[in-house]
Structure 1
């Protein structure tokens, strides 16, 4: 069995902020739409779509991450599935309208923790 060229993880723990709760967050439907397009195009041996559990990006709506390319998409809906497969998986194009900026990855949790640790750590000259 060969390696997957792309592994798509769909957050199934997504609890969007109240202003994004529009009934469009359904990770099962999104994953099913991705899998349907993967199957339709005969890509099952190269591309896999899985549930992921929490990806710590709740402020970005429904989140999808694609590895090994490390492409993070937020606010993804079932309607984006075909675009993701055709434009990102097949054509290698990052969808800028869905891409989560790198400075927002981790909802700031890691950054805040690292900042507090570095501000409380003694300076090298002490």
Structure 2
């Protein structure tokens, strides 16, 4: 293998398929699990609503997907928007509307719904 740089056509990443990719945790754990689960907290309904609202708003280049466990169960329902990697915890349709408008329409943030560096899980023992 050589250390020579690849030609520029081989080093450039392909263009992204989406301008924004939203992953909504829809993981379901058994009832009574110590960490809970986003699906038990209503994430599937919120995901469905978000998909419908994004379509109604005419958001182009936005993909909203279900995700398995995003490992922030205690703060659920949780979602993350890429390419920025911004995490949110929407609890209602109004929260979803706020996130769509602030983040995906206006390009800002719904700061009051964001998970931050303060929202960390307790250490596993």
TM-score calculated relative to the size of structure 1: 0.69
Q: Who is 1:11 aligned against?
A: 25
Q: Contact 1:25–1:77 (CA<8 Å) still a contact in 2?
A: no
Q: Deviations over 1:54-108 (max 9, x none)?
A: 0110121210100111110125333311111111111112112111112435x25
Q: Contact 1:14–1:63 (CA<8 Å) still a contact in 2?
A: no
Q: Point out where structure 1 has 5 or more consecutive residues left out of the alignment.
A: 114-126
- How many residue pairs match? The answer is 107
Q: Contact 2:95–2:113 (CA<8 Å) still a contact in 1?
A: no
The structure with the largest helix share of the pair is 1
Counterpart pick for 1:85 among 100, 105, 117: 100
**CA-CA distance at 1:3 after TM superposition:** 2.1
Q: Contact 2:25–2:70 (CA<8 Å) still a contact in 1?
A: yes
Counterpart pick for 2:47 among 19, 28, 31: 31
Three-state SS of the structure 1 residue aligned to 2:23 is strand
TM-score calculated relative to the size of structure 2: 0.69
